Amino acid sequence: MNDENRSAGRVLDVLEHLAGRPDGASLTEICAALELPKSSAHVLLRTVLARGYVTKDRSERYVLNEVFRTYGFGWGGHRHAHLIAVANPIMEELAAAVGETVLLGTVEGGVVRTLSKVVADQVIRYDVSLSTPSPYYCTAMGRVVVAFSPESQRDLRLLSTEREKHTDKTVTDLHTLRRIIERVAEDGYAIVEEEFVVGGTGIAAPVFGKNGEVVAVLDIGCVSARFEANRERLIEALLSSAGLLSQRLLGNSDAHLRGGAKDDNPSSRRGSKRQPG
């Protein structure tokens, strides 16, 4: 077997090993299980980390990206491998800074799918399965997608699914939702408090690609009881991180960041105002 085939085989060995370990594995455990030198294992892991197939948790354990565990390697998620790889370090820094769960989503198959997440290191924390889609009308990620869609597509997205009430606070009235969506487009972010899950609040902002199109949504999911006291800090941190991710995806520092752009005068933002609904 030549070196190229041997390397490819070792990459698959690593992925298959992690696929059987939901809690992940340390570098030492991977080396022992696969009989790999530490230097070789480190190179392989660095490769699959960069491609988004594997993530590393705060205890330095390597974990198969839940996208592939949920949907399998045949799912189209490999198309987002670069996005996930670029986003994960930013997500980890954001989660550490705010102490809340951070999610990355995009439109896939007509719904908003969560591609990656960094779960908060809190006793009581927000978490969601990657297999759970985010409805357009009642989640922060969904509303951001609608708000930054062409106006001709906004109603189509809002009407694409039955608008059921998930909680007593879920807004289902189309006219009210239109006003909320307009506000999200103006503000550059969405806040949804306990409309999808009781006790959970989501804050989401768009991530821009070429020509100003939204390629992903960055979201902070937090326990509602902690949200109000940290409202401004969470909004500022989210917008900064979404802007940074937009920059890195475009590969330059002059990216068109819109809502993610930093502002030297935080008081000029609308973060202190409450979105309707």
Q: Which domains does the chain have, with CATH numbers?
A: 6-64 (1.10.10.10), 73-254 (3.30.450.40)
Closest alpha carbon to 141 in 84, 93, 182, 102? 102
Residue found under tokens 């954001």: 94
Residue 76 has pLDDT above 60, yes or no: no
Write down the pLDDT at residue 254.
42
| pLDDT value of position 26 | 93
Cα→Cα distances 125→7, 21, 120, 225, 227, Å: 39, 23, 6, 11, 12
Q: Give Cα 179 to chain centroid, integer Å.
A: 25
Task: Provide the percentage of residues in the chain whose pLDDT is more than 90.
Answer: 49
pLDDT (tens digit, 9 = 90+) per residue, 99-111? Answer: 999 999 999 877 8
Compare 56 and 179 and report the one with higher pLDDT.
179
Q: What's the mean pLDDT in 199-207?
A: 97
pLDDT at 258 over 60: no
Look at 31-35, 38-42, 81-85, 86-90 and tell me which has the smallest mean pLDDT: 81-85
**More confident of the two residues 4 and 74:** 4
Give the pLDDT of residue 174.
Answer: 95
**Gap between the Cα atoms of 221 and 227, Å rounded:** 9
Specify the pLDDT at position 271: 43
> Does the pLDDT value for residue 84 go beyond 90?
no
The tally of CA atoms less than 13 A away on the side-chain side of residue 27 is: 14
Distance from C-alpha of 58 to C-alpha of 88, rounded to nearest angstrom = 12
What's the Cα-to-Cα distance from 252 to each of 85, 244, 249, 256, rounded to whole Å?
A: 17, 10, 8, 10
Q: What is the pLDDT of residues 123-167, one digit of tens each?
A: 888 888 777 889 999 999 999 999 999 988 999 999 988 899 999
DSSP 3-state of 195: coil
Secondary structure (DSSP) of 74-141: TSGGGGGHHHHHHHHHHHHHHHHHHSSEEEEEEEETTEEEEEEEE--SSSS-----TTS-B-TTTSHH
Residue 124 has a pLDDT of 82
Query: pTM of this prediction?
Result: 0.70
